[in-house]
């Protein structure tokens, strides 16, 4: 964790920002999570550390951290965005259960060299590739199959 926070501090300084105590807490909460976090979850965890951090501070900080590439946002249509650290990966893929919201990171090599092909064919540079696939995990699918059908 220390190296992530140190490299985050370095990156923020390079971009003309400081790693304020609030930014440090928010980064630490996201980095220590074993899951993707919603704004509400981030707020709850940060306020356990410091109850005086406001929701607007959380939103502004998340936006800054996204813009400098320290935090990644993922969301399904109609769902709240979820946040995680963006520790140096260009390709990032998720498989999400629509029912229980379980989130799985997929192998970066799943799509082969699609990133390079897109850069070459469409002349895009600094491209990042994020795939979000949604369906039902095995347990949820079994439950759905056992539910009575509505006529």
Query: Confidence band (pLDDT; 50, 70, 90) for 116?
Result: confident
Q: What is the 3-state secondary structure (H, E, C) of 16-37?
A: CCCCCHHHHHHHHHHHHCCCCE
What's the pLDDT score for residue 90? 56
Instruction: Quote the mean pLDDT of the chain.
Output: 85
CATH tag, 1-88: 1.10.10.10
**Looking at the domain covering 89-151, what would its CATH class be?**
alpha beta
Tokens of 109: 């090599």
Q: Which residue has the higher pLDDT, 63 or 5?
A: 63
* Spans of all domains in the chain: 1-88, 89-151
pLDDT at 36: 84
Confidence of residue 57 (pLDDT cuts 50, 70, 90): very high
pLDDT at 108: 73
Residues 37-54 have pLDDT tens digits of 999 999 999 999 999 999
pLDDT of residue 91: 63
54: number of Cβ within 10 Å: 12
Percent of the chain clearing pLDDT 90 (strictly above):
36
Q: Is pLDDT at 77 greater than 70 in this prediction?
A: no
Higher-pLDDT residue of 89, 139: 139
In the predicted model, is pLDDT for residue 127 greater than 80? Answer: no
Helix (H, G, I), strand (E, B) or coil at 91: strand
| Residue 8 predicted with pLDDT over 80 | yes
Please report which confidence band the pLDDT of residue 30 belongs to, taking 50, 70 and 90 as the band edges. very high
Do residues 59 and 50 touch, judged by C-beta distance below 8 A? no
pLDDT at site 89: 54
pLDDT of residue 1: 47
3-state secondary structure of 136: coil
């Amino acid at each position: 964790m220390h190296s992530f926070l140190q490299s985050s501090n370095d990156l923020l300084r390079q971009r003309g920002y400081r790693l304020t105590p609030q930014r440090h807490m928010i980064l630490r909460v996201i980095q220590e999570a074993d899951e993707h976090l919603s704004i509400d979850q981030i707020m709850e965890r940060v306020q356990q550390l410091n109850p005086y951090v406001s929701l607007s501070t959380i939103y502004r900080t998340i936006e800054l951290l996204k813009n400098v590439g320290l935090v990644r946002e993922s969301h399904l249509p109609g769902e709240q965005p979820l946040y995680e650290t963006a520790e140096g990966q260009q390709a990032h893929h998720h498989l999400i259960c629509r029912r229980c919201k379980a989130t799985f990171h997929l192998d970066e090599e799943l799509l082969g060299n699609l990133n390079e092909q897109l850069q070459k064919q469409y002349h895009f540079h600094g491209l990042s590739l994020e795939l979000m696939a949604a369906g039902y995990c095995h347990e949820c699918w079994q439950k759905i199959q056992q539910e009575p059908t509505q006529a």
